[in-house]
Chain A
Amino acid sequence: MPIWVYNADMARAATTADAFNAVAEPRRRQILDVLSSGERPVNDLVKLVGLAQPLVSKHLRVLREVGLVDVRDQGRQRMYSINGQPLKPIHDWVKNYERSWSRRFDRLDVVLEELKQIEEEDNGSGK
């Protein structure tokens, strides 16, 4: 089921029903990290993540349910790949917090520039 089918009010209540909750699990983030370098069959993921295959499959199922992972058949193998779109609200959410820090740091830059000048002048006067 694609992410936009979910009612946003309910999404937070369910345990794994949205991208936020899906990536809250460290192993699932690890799987996404591996998939970010390219699509993989489940056996690769089992090796790279170091979990038993049923567990990896379980995590993949959750990631597929929120649309973070796509799957396609290639011969006898099923190939898993990442789809970043459902991560966008997380990205936006963090970006706003980041912006408020950036403004703070921009002001700090001005203070630092002055401190540097004062220090240079002090050195220039043989202090």
Chain B
Amino acid sequence: MAVASSGTAVVTLPTNTQILITRDFDAPRHLVYKAWTTPELIKRWWSGDRGEVTIAELDLRVGGSWRYVMTANGGFEVAFHGEYREIVPNERVVSTEIYEGAPEGVAIVTHTFTEQAGRTTLTILMELPSQQTRDAVIDSGMEGGLQEALDHLEQVAISLV
């Protein structure tokens, strides 16, 4: 089914240790919350186009844990888990998030769902333990990472000389 994208994800870096992700959805927030917290629905979107979600388990209560595993297109597994710290149904979920490939970097993630005129704004604020960890998370979105971006800048700059 073709669905027009109802918004663009906006990522900003409010401080040296934070990542803020914002996105609008053309749906009321109880449905966004449902899609965000129901295992069989999570399996349909969480991997994006990077692979297939094989495990989506969650125990949605304070102190309860969650774990998502995806088999990435390259064949390797990517797993995250954490624990719920705060839950206000349809409004707010605060949890820890640990990438199992680098378990020392525990992120605190605050999800906020706000609804206006039947549309929902989702904000995800990630607080990382250090700037280095924060940068590593951003790097995960980019092949080659930050260094490649800098190399690329050099090339652009050289072409200007």
Chain A residues proximal to chain B, CB less than 8 Å: 2-4, 8-9, 11-12, 18, 20, 24, 26, 86, 88-90, 92-116, 119
In the complex, how many residues of chain B place their beta carbon closer than 8 angstroms to a beta carbon of chain A?
Answer: 53
B31 interface residue (CB < 8 Å to A)? yes
Which residue of chain A has the shortest Cβ distance to B47 in the bound complex? A104
A94 with B25: CB separation less than 8 A:
no
Q: How far is the CB of B43 from chain A (nearest CB, A)?
A: 10
Q: Which of A93, A98, A110 contacts B10 (CB 8 A)?
A: A98
Chain B residues proximal to chain A, CB less than 8 Å: 1, 3-13, 15-16, 19, 21, 23, 25-27, 31-32, 34-35, 41, 44-50, 131, 137-142, 145-147, 149-154, 156-158, 160-161
User: Chain A: interface secondary structure?
Assistant: helix
Contacts of B141 in A (CB 8 A): 96-101
User: Chain B: interface secondary structure?
Assistant: mixed
- Give the docked Cα–Cα distance between A97 and B35 (Å): 22
Contacts of B46 in A (CB 8 A): 104
Which residue of chain A has the shortest Cβ distance to B16 in the bound complex? A24
Given known A24-B16, A100-B141, contact A108–B153 (CB-CB < 8 A): no
B44 with A112: CB separation less than 8 A:
no
Q: How far is the CB of B70 from chain A (nearest CB, A)?
A: 11
- Give the docked Cα–Cα distance between A104 and B46 (Å): 6
Contacts of B7 in A (CB 8 A): 105
* Most chain A CB within a 10 A radius of its CB, from B31, B34, B161: B31
Give 11 A-B contacts (CB < 8 Å), ordered by A residue: A4-B157, A4-B160, A24-B16, A89-B146, A93-B146, A104-B47, A105-B25, A109-B4, A111-B35, A111-B41, A112-B25
